[in-house]
Amino acid sequence: MRVLLIRPPARHTVESEVPDAVSAENLSYPPLALISIATFLRTQSDHDVAILDAQLDNLDYDQVRARVAEWKPDVVGITAFTVQLVDVHKTIQACKEVGVPRVVVGGPHVNDFPQECRGLPGVDAVVKGEGQKPMLDLLAAWARGEVARGIPGVIAHEDDPVPLDDVYFSNDMDEYPILDLTLVDYQRYYDVMGEGGIFTTVISSRGCPYRCTFCNTPRHRYRVMSPGRVCDELESCIALGIREIYFVDDTFNITNKRVHELCDEILRRGLDIRWTVRFRVKGVDRPLLEKMKQAGCTRIQFGVEQGTEEGLLRLKKDVTSREIENAFQHCREVGIRTVAYFMIGTPTERTREDVLDTIDYSIRLRPDFVMYNLLTPFPGTTLYDEGLRDGVLDIEPWLRFMREPDESFKAQVWDEHFSRQELRELLDMAWKRFYWRPEFVVKNLFQIRNLADFKRKATAGLRLLA
Ligand code: B12
């Protein structure tokens, strides 16, 4: 069968409360989910599989229709983020308009709302959980002309049972084939906080056992790739000239032991790469950071979120502000750059002064970059349930959006203490306070590597100032 996997255009993203300057640049990450599925299908079957990254090429829907019509797929697979549901919906329609017989949707949105997604017009099946094996089985059933029933994680018919959480997950991440990045134009992806070279993302574990109330990452079945398998993947990136890696694991340091072992293997093989990880502050110590630095880690992204003990407790971060400050201090001493993620508009920020305290705290931590987001409680999170319980949030607008994706939808923020408008103003102020400091501008001017890097950073910087 001819299979086309599509990342939809990003033309109608639900306001994600991150300045365009930042989200536009961040979106040049490779579509890892689609590359994983395409690589798997190619190694396990003789289906003819290709990827269309409509975000990378900033395609409009006429162009999507033209590309799909030209490729003539029997099956289209679309990856879906909830905030991109309008574009997902439009992509499904575009495919149907040019006569694609079957459309399958998967990805984080389906994990959270499988039934609603199956109900969208034009959808022939949805896949909940990891897509590699279910997609293989689904294609096999369709290729044999069979009715696709009983495939774990798949809802192909309206009356199929909704998969429970326990759908298809590979217990052995090492089994998956090494990603074939040549399935996409891998040289064109870019990380605005990176060093300006060819870059890619890698995922070396799935899930996270922690229980932060704003996050809905699957808590069960935390699984890791072995250090050897991760390094095989890194070697294949190096063979393509990629030297910058961003590990997009939900939490890279669930245990220090795993990180030590991975660094040991990178060092043993002498891999020449610079890498970035997403970390918790808990457990971060000097020996770990020194080993990481030696193995090529140049940047750590920490989900800090709040600076007060009350705020951290309410979000169940399971860390103290002392631990946060120590982690940033250690990184500075060892020479690893840091990114701190903060949330503005949390339930414990009741006054303007409380928010200003959060912003001041983010500056006092002295990270190299900060990302501020407005807290947007997603259905399926504990915080969302708390908001429903306390009458702060309302499920109806979300449900309407899931069933009839509409460009005018705005995800509700936590508006117990501030209006949406006030929160936006506070968010803008946060970005300006951090990035307009002469200290930040000068430091970054000295870190620019080449002309392309300069252009991208200057564009992002100018948009931010605007
Ligand atoms: C890297 C990343 C980003 C990057 C790049 C995203 C991108 N466009 O590629 C950036 C920083 C831009 C980003 C931004 C945001 N992100 Co983000 N991001 C991630 C992260 C850390 C990794 C994604 C990844 O590459 N995973 C690796 C791949 C292999 O896994 P996967 O995507 O789950 O895919 C598997 C299955 O889902 C399934 N599958 C996926 N697609 C398909 C398609 C088909 C046809 C099939 C059959 C199966 C299938 O099979 C895949 C292989 O097993 C995830 C968390 C995580 N660790 O996954 C969050 C995550 C995807 N992001 C999330 C969110 C909420 C956001 C933001 C809204 C945050 C914000 N407030 O701004 C923005 C939205 C950006 C936008 N405009 O779309 C949520 C999505 C939740 C949802 N219901 O949609 C996640 C899951 C984090 C979380 N737990 O909350 N993000």
**Separation between Cα atoms, residue 386 and residue 377, nearest integer Å:** 10
Query: pTM surpassing 0.85?
Result: yes
**299, 338 contact by CB (below 8 A):** yes
Exposed/middle/buried for residue 353 (C-beta within 10 Å: 0-12, 13-18, 19+): exposed
User: For residue 364, what pLDDT band results from cuts at 50, 70 and 90?
Assistant: very high
- For ligand 1, atom 77, name the residue with the nearest CA: 13
Give domain 191-376+413-435's CATH architecture.
Alpha-Beta Barrel (3.20)
- In contact, 423 and 417? CB cutoff 8 Å: no
Question: Which residue owns the Cα nearest ligand 1 atom 51?
Answer: 33
For helices 438-445 and 420-435, the axis angle rounded to 10 degrees is 60
CATH topology of domain 2-155: Rossmann fold (3.40.50)
Grade residue 277 by pLDDT with cuts at 50, 70 and 90: very high
Q: Which atom of ligand 1 is nearest to the CA of 206?
A: 57
Going by alpha carbons, the residue nearest to atom 73 of ligand 1 is 16
Q: List alpha helices for 296-351, DSSP H.
A: 309-314, 321-334
Q: Distance (Å, rounded) from C-alpha 357 to C-alpha 393?
A: 25
Q: Give the alpha-carbon dihedral of 115, 121, 123, 124, to 10 degrees.
A: 100
SS3 164: coil
Cβ proximity of 278 and 303 under 8 Å: yes
Residues in contact with 385: Cβ distance below 8 Å, sequence separation at least 6, in sequence order: none
Return the structure tokens found at 319.
């860390």
Lowest mean pLDDT among 94-108, 257-271, 419-433: 419-433
Identify the DSSP state of 432.
H
Contact 25, 193 (CB under 8 A): no
| Parallel, antiparallel or unpaired: strands 223-224 and 205-206 | antiparallel
Is pLDDT above 90 for 274?
yes
| Phi, psi (degrees; rounded to nearest 5) at 292 | -65, -45
Closest alpha carbon to 64 in 120, 103, 26: 103
What is the per-residue pLDDT for 19?
Answer: 54
Query: Nearest C-alpha to atom 69 of ligand 1 is from which residue?
Result: 16
Q: Whose CA is nearest to atom 28 of ligand 1?
A: 33
Which protein residues touch ligand 1 with a CB less than 6 Å away?
10, 13, 16, 18, 23, 26-27, 29, 31-33, 36-37, 77-79, 81-84, 104, 106-109, 112, 127, 130-132, 135, 201, 203, 215-217, 248, 250, 373, 376
Distance 107 CA to ligand 1 centre (A): 7
pLDDT digits 0-9 by tens, 130-182: 999 999 999 999 999 998 888 988 999 877 777 666 566 777 899 999 999 99
Q: What is the pLDDT of residue 446?
A: 60
Among all chains, which residue has been given the structure tokens 């879906």?
80
443 alpha carbon – ligand 1 mean position (Å) = 31
| Cα(32) to centroid(ligand 1), Å | 9
Q: Where are the domains of the chain?
A: 2-155, 191-376+413-435
CB distance 327 to 302 below 8 Å: yes
